[in-house]
Structures are given as structure tokens and as C-alpha cells.
Amino acid sequence: MNWIAIAVTFKLALLTAVVLLVVGLPIAYWLTFSKWRWKFIVESVVALPLVLPPTVLGFYILVAIGPHSPVGRFYSDVVGHPLPFTFEGLLLASILYSLPFAVQPFTAAFEQVDRRLIETSWTLGASKLKTFFQLIVPLSTTGLITGAVLSFAHTLGEFGVVLMVGGNIEGETRTVSIDIYDEVQALNYAGAAKTALLLLVVSYGVLLLVYAMNRKVWAVWPQR
Amino acid sequence: MIQIIIALCMLMITGVNVAVAEVITIGAASDLNFAFREIAMEYEKASGNQVRLTLGSSGNFYAQIQNGAPFDLYFSADISYPRKLEEAGRTVPGSLYQYAVGRIVLWAGKDSHLDLSRGLEILREPAIRKIAIANPKHAPYGRAAVAAMEHFKVYDQVKDKLILGENISQAAQFIESGACDIGIIALSLAVAPAMKSKGTYWEVPAETHPLLEQGAVILKSSKQQESAKQFLAFIKGERGQEIMKRYGFTVPSAG
């Protein structure tokens, strides 16, 4: 089994989930509470990676961060090397690719929070920020964990985007799904089967966790 | 919980970055799939350096390098790609080296009972439904396969049966697994231990397609140019040449 690829993949998935937890919260908050009439435009943009072919997303990211774009040139001037085909480039792509998998459960959880509680908190003088962290977030834990876990799992298995912007470099951008592809081409079916099984088990485990957490009958954590 | 996550992070980060000697990153045409695994292993033993090998189609690597892919060395199955990089000033001057000439073969699994000695004519057989080749758009071996089929005037009749692999290794995997009936692949893959016992092959005459001149360059963006030169010297050396020959490559006579 290719432990280097496994380590790269878990590192990528974990960082993606962490970043999405940070970036996704304000986006989800805004999507839930904004009364702007054109909000659906932003909602559609956030959901786009769900339906967009990964190669299309990968192509645009590649062009956007490549040496011919201003963003790409700025990055390589500052950091000293270009962004495509590096771990950082792959991380950026994964964040965009998994965005809806984090934001949508977050939004769903925020919508479940009783409006009266939120408005009471505001009326009692708590700032919006304080209300968010001390009321909304604690009441949305399940949704937040679901979003983080789903974006983690989704990143574990991404292939098309990685193929486009990753470049399959060992220890850097060769993820587990690319490693399976490589092993099959090297006719090493036994190696591919082992890694595939690992991915299957982890993916199933993650979904078990999500569904167990979201079930109505009894909660894994006792009700507060 | 947070401690566990942090501990896991640390483990992964340190686990990946354990590198004592220099690491050279090589993008190599996938006809080198088996030969280069062996060469990389021997080079690592001899030099103490580490080789990170990425295999794929030459045309894809060319596009990736233009987009800033961090390879130290590029081994193309078609020397015109590294030549273009040299003209664009992206290579270390004087590093361009024609390391081999490749050959294509017609390959079929042992239990297919096809008489390959009939050559490419056999592709017309109605029993043959799917023919694997590499994608001629970006894989030199795919272009050679199409040229050979055109030379034998079978291309127009069989072009609807063609299944395109993303690179020549994938085309080989398509026939090895039985998903395609027959295919045109690199000799270097046909003679590799993983394939040799499973099928038979017929060497497509070299004069029926443009010569598969294979070229390597060291990229200017490489930060390990000395180690890259050392690897190139290993390929040119006796041991490297011996391995390449064993995998069916014609190697330049003067090392």
C-alpha cells in the first residue's frame, strides 16, 4: 500500500475540511440570514461544484492560477514557484471543489435554529457575533460536523480535479485515487485493490458517522 | 479531539517530508513504466538520492511543464516536445539528449488465438471488436500506431473500433485485462515481466511509421540540476543502457 499517497490524501482532506469550516461559516451565515433578493445567484455559485464536471472546474483553476494569469504570476513572484502542480494549488482546488459539501449542511443547520431565540438574544443586547458563537453555533453542531465530515470525505475521493491541477507528483500531489489509477496502469491489480478497499472502508465509515449523527431516533450525544 | 487532530496533522506532515538526500522529480512517458521503475531503483541505490517518478503521456507533460509543473527532468516519447521546450528557453542548455528509439508492437492476450504473424491486416477481422491504442492527440505511441495502420491501409476500416488510452500504459492495460481484443502498444511494455507471460506480440516494422525518437531534457526551473545531470548520466551509462535494451529500446551507440 502506498503510505505516502495515503498521507498526502489525508493531509489534503483534513486541511480542506478545516479551511472550509472557517470559510464556510460566514458564507453559510450570510446565505441563511441575508434578505437580499438576488441571494439565489450566490446560492447557485456555491452549489456549482456539485454539478460542474471536475475537469471543467480543474481547467478553470489551472488557467486561473497558471503562469499566464496575473494571480498565478503574483503568487510565483511572492512565493518563488508557480502554484499549479503543488500541494497548495491542489488544496485551493479542493476547497473550491468541496465548498457546497460544507456550506449546504451549515446553511441547513442554521435554518433549523429557532428565530425567536436569535432575536431574543439580540434584544437582550448580545452582539451579532456573540449570538453567532454562543447560540447559533452550539445549536448547529451536528450540521457543522456533517459539513466538515462530508467535505473531508469528498476530498478523499476527488479524481478529475486532481488530475487536472495536481500533476501526480509523489509526496506532493499524488493522492490515493490517482495512485489507484497508476497501479492499474502498472498492472498491479493487487496493489490497486488494497488501496481501493481502504478508500471504500473509510468512505463508508464516514457516511456511517454522518447518518448516525443525523438520525432522529436517538442521538449519539445526549440531548442538552 | 483537537489534540488528536493536531497529532494527526503533525504525523502526516513529518511523515511526508522525511527526505535526507536530494529528491529529483521526473516526468516520464509511460512507455518507460516498467523500465524506469527498475532504473530508478538502481539509481537510488547507487546515488543515495531519491527519485519521484510520474508517468503519463508526453503531450500532457509538455502542457503541464508550460503551466509550471515542478519537474527536474522530462523524458518524452517524442523528442519534438523537449525540442520545443529548448527553443522556448525552458531547458538547461545542452541537456537535450535522445535517450532511445521506441518500437510499437501488435499485442494480443494468449487466449485470443489470433495469428499475429498476419500483421496489422488482422485488425480487419470481424471477430475483433475493440482495438486499444494510446490517444494520438497527445501520446506519441498513439500517433505511431495510427501512422502504421494508415501505412497498411487498414485505418479507415478499423477506426470505429479504436479505444483510446490516456497514455500507452493505459492502452496496454485495456488489452491485458481483456477489455479490448487486441492493441498496438510499446515494445517496452510487451516485454515487461507483467505482460510478457500473458500474451503474444508482433513487432510492427519500424519503417511503417515515423521514428519514435525519444528525448530527455533537464528543466531550467529545476533546483536540483546537478542531481538531474547525474541521473541523465546514469541513463547514458552502461547499467542504464543495459536495462533500456532489455526493455526493447534501441539506445544510441555512443554513450
- A23-38 pLDDT, tens digit per residue, is 999 999 999 999 999 9
pLDDT: which is higher, A219 or B252: B252
Edge-to-edge strands, sheet with B199-203: B162-165, B131-134, B182-186, B104-109, B199-203
Counted across chains A and B, CB pairs separated by less than 8 A come out at 85
Whether A72 contacts chain B with CB within 8 A: yes
How many CA atoms lie within 13 Å of A195's alpha carbon, on the beta-carbon side?
25
Place of cell 542548455: B93
Whether A86 contacts chain B with CB within 8 A: yes
Q: Do A102 and A21 contact (CB within 8 A), yes or no?
A: yes
Nearest residue to B98 via CA among B114, B79, B71, B74: B79
Give residue B183's pLDDT. Answer: 96
Retrieve residue A210's grid coordinates: 454522518
Give residue B255's pLDDT. Answer: 43
Whether B170 contacts chain A with CB within 8 A: yes
Give residue A218's pLDDT. Answer: 55
Contact A169 B25 (CB under 8 A): yes
**Residue A113, Cβ density class (10 Å: 0-12 exposed, 13-18 middle, ≥19 buried):** middle
Has residue A180 got a pLDDT over 70? yes
A46 CB neighbour count, 10 Å cutoff: 18
Q: Do B227 and B49 contact (CB within 8 A), yes or no?
A: yes
pLDDT < 50 regions, chain B? 15-19, 254-255
**What is this structure's pTM?**
0.83
Q: Is the ipTM of this complex over 0.85?
A: no
Q: What is the mean pLDDT of residues A148-162?
A: 92
Give residue A197's pLDDT. Answer: 94
Helix (H, G, I), strand (E, B) or coil at B192: coil
- Taking CA–CA distances from B19, the nearest residue in chain A reads A171
Calpha distance A171→A184 (Å, rounded): 19
Q: Do B32 and B7 contact (CB within 8 A), yes or no?
A: no
Question: How sure is the predictor about A81, in pLDDT bands with cuts at 50, 70 and 90?
Answer: confident
The pLDDT > 90 percentage for chain A reads: 72
Beta strands in chain B (DSSP E): 23-29, 50-56, 73-76, 97-102, 104-109, 131-134, 162-165, 182-186, 199-203, 212-218
Nearest residue to A30 via CA among A148, A152, A132, A142: A132
- Taking CA–CA distances from A184, the nearest residue in chain B reads B173
A interface test, pick of B6, B9, B11, B12 with most A CB neighbours within 10 Å: B12
Distance from CA of B111 to the nearest CA of A (A): 18
Helix (H, G, I), strand (E, B) or coil at A12: helix
Calpha distance B68→A165 (Å, rounded): 11
Q: Do A93 and A165 contact (CB within 8 A), yes or no?
A: yes
Give residue B17's pLDDT. Answer: 45
Give residue A61's pLDDT. Answer: 92
Q: For residue B23, which residues of chain A lie inside 8 Å, CB to CB? A: 171
Q: Do B22 and B224 contact (CB within 8 A), yes or no?
A: yes
Contact B53 A4 (CB under 8 A): no
Whether B25 contacts chain A with CB within 8 A: yes
Give residue B16's pLDDT. Answer: 47
Whether B57 contacts chain A with CB within 8 A: no
Distance from CA of B92 to the nearest CA of A (A): 17
Strands B23-29 and B73-76: parallel
Contact A188 B67 (CB under 8 A): no
Calpha distance A164→A99 (Å, rounded): 18
Q: What is the mean pLDDT of residues A182-207?
A: 92
Distance from CA of B196 to the nearest CA of A (A): 12
Q: Do B199 and B105 contact (CB within 8 A), yes or no?
A: no
Q: What type of residue is A51?
A: V
Q: What is the mean pLDDT of residues A71-93?
A: 89
Nearest residue to A163 via CA among A56, A81, A82: A56
Retrieve residue A83's grid coordinates: 502554484
Q: Please list the helix, strand and coil fractions of chain A in percent, rounded to the nearest 5, in that order.
A: 75, 0, 25
Give residue A215's pLDDT. Answer: 79
